[in-house]
Amino acid sequence: MKPTVLIAATSQWATTARLAMALANAGCIVDAVCPSRHPLRKTSAVRQAHSYGGLTPLKSFAAAITATRPDFLLSGDDPTTQHLHHLYYRERRRGKEGALICALIEHSLGAAESFPVVYARTTFIETAQEEGIRVPKTEVIENTDDLRRWVDRMGFPTVLKANGTTGGEGVRIVHTLEDAELAFRTLQAPPLLARAVKRALVDGEEALVWPSLLRRRSVVNAQVFVAGREATSAIACWKGSAMASLHFEVLIKGYSAGPATVMRLIDNAEMSAAAEKMARRLKLSGLHGFDFMLESETGNPYLIEINPRATQVGHLSLGPGRDLPAALYAAVSGQAVKAAPTVTENDTIALFPQEWTRDPASPFLRSGYHDVPWEEPELVRACLRSRRKWIAWRSQQTRIKTFSAVRLP
C-alpha cells in the first residue's frame, strides 16, 4: 500500500508544490493543508487540499490529520514547523487522547527534545560546537548594553538574527553601532499590525496576525561575521540517520538577505559530516536544511543555522544518494531506495520561478539547468502571476529603504 504524506504549508512557496510532485513520483499519496491560494493547489500531485486558517492554525492541522490519517507529515516552511511543535505540546497535555498526533509529529520531525533547539539560534550553534563542528561564535542579545559589549569584543561587521524568522527577514548585517542598535530594535519588535493585515488580506498568509496582536517580541542573537561564499545542505533523515543529501554553493540570490535563486552542486565532506552529526544529535526525521559560510581565505565551511523543514532544493533528483524524496519514501514505506532518473548532469541549477523572477534575461536560465515544471501548466501559470507581486514588493522595499536613509535635521 502506498504511504500517505500530508504536506503542511503556510507560506506561498512554489517549491513546496515541486516537492509534492517529487513525492508523488516516488510513490506516495500526497495530501496538503495550506491557504486557499497556495501553489500546492495548482498541482495534480496533490490528491486533496485541506483548508488552513491562520488565526486557528492548530485546529486546521489537527483537522487535516484526523481527516487524512497520514503515515507522515512534511513541513513546507518555518511557521508550519512551529505550528506542529505547538500542536505536539497541546496534544501532549491531553494525555491519551492526544497520543496519536504526538506520535505522528515525532515520527515525522524527530525527537521532541530537539524542538526547542532548532529555533533557538544560539542554542543550536552551541550544540553544533559540542559536536566538534566549525561554527561562528553566537550569543543572545537581550538589550543594547549587551549589544555594545558584543561589538566591543567582536567588532564589525557583525550579524544580528531573530529567532523564528525565515527567508532572510530576520537577518541584518551591520557595520556601525548606530545601525546595530536600529537593527536590534527592529528585529526585537513585534510585527507591525499593518504588515500583518497586508499579509493576511493580500497574500493569504495569517501567521503574523497573532504575534502582532499579542505584541510578541523576538529573541535576537549576534553572530560573528564570516567573510566568504554562502552554501547550503539539504538532507533526508530518519530517526537521526541521514539517508540522502544535497550540497550546493550559492551563486545568485534574489536580494542580499533572501533565498538563493541559482546554485551549483558541490561535494563537500565537511558539510556532509556536519549535517549528519546534527541529524544524529537532534534525532531528526524528515527533510531539513543546513546553511553554511565557506570562508574566503580557507574554503572551510562554518555552520551558521538550521532550516527545520523542506528547503527549495529538496525536490531535485540528482542521482543515488542525492534523491531526497526517494529516500523519504523508502523510510516511510519500508522499501529499498529507488532513486528517480537524474534530472540533469548540469551542476548549475537555476530555480524556477526564483531566478526568472529576479531577472528574466539571466544568463543562468540558458547556461544552467532551468528547473521549470512544464508537466504542470497550472503551477507554471501561478508562478508567472506571482512575479507581478514580487516586483511590487521589491519596489515597495526600495522606497522604504530610500525614505529611511533620509535623516531629518
Distance separating alpha carbons of residues 63 and 68, to the nearest angstrom: 9
Output the CA angle 214-217-218, nearest 5 degrees.
135
Could you give the residue ranges of the DSSP H alpha helices within 131-252?
144-154, 177-188, 193-201, 209-213
| All domains in the chain, ordered by first residue | 4-110 (3.40.50.20), 137-224 (3.30.1490.20), 228-388 (3.30.470.20)
Listing DSSP states for 343-400 in one string gives S-S-SEEEETTHHHHH-TT-THHHHSEEE--TT-HHHHHHHHHHHHHHHHHHHHHHHH
User: pLDDT confidence of 170, banded at 50, 70, 90?
Assistant: confident
- Better-predicted residue by pLDDT, 164 or 213: 164
Residue 409, pLDDT above cutoff 90 = no
Give Cβ neighbours of residue 393 (< 8 Å, ≥ 6 apart): none
pLDDT at 401: 43
Is pLDDT above 70 for 200? no
Q: How confident is the model at residue 53 (pLDDT cuts 50, 70, 90)?
A: confident
d(CA 81, CA 183) in angstroms, rounded, equals: 26
- Please report the pLDDT score of residue 203 as a whole number: 52
Task: For residue range 321-363, list pLDDT tens digits in order.
Answer: 999 999 999 999 999 888 889 999 999 999 999 999 899 999 9
Residue 192 has pLDDT above 60, yes or no: no
Q: What pLDDT is recorded for position 385? A: 80
Secondary element (H or E) of residue 117:
helix 115-118
Looking at the predicted structure, is the pLDDT value of residue 38 above 50?
yes
Q: Side-chain half-sphere of 111: how many Cα atoms within 13 Å?
A: 12
pTM of the full structure: 0.89
pLDDT computed for residue 404 by the predictor: 40
Calpha distance 306→291 (Å, rounded): 6
Q: Compare 407 and 240 and report the one with higher pLDDT.
A: 240
pLDDT 10s digits, 129-154: 999 999 999 999 999 999 999 999 99
* Max Cα-Cα span within the chain: 71
The DSSP line for 22-73 is HHHHHT-EEEEEE-TT-GGGG-TTEEEEEE--TTSHHHHHHHHHHHH--SEE
What's the whole-number mean pLDDT along residues 83-98? 96
Residue whose C-alpha is closest to residue 4's, from 329, 316, 326: 329
Q: Which residue has the higher pLDDT, 20 or 357?
A: 20
Residue 191's pLDDT band (boundaries 50, 70, 90)? low
pLDDT value at 177 more than 70: yes
Residue 207's pLDDT band (boundaries 50, 70, 90)?
Answer: low
Mean pLDDT of the chain: 89
What tens digit of pLDDT does each residue of 249-279 get? 999 998 877 889 999 999 999 999 999 999 9
Residue range 226-254, pLDDT digits in tens: 999 999 999 999 999 999 999 999 999 98
Task: Indicate the pLDDT class of residue 101, thresholds 50, 70 and 90.
Answer: very high
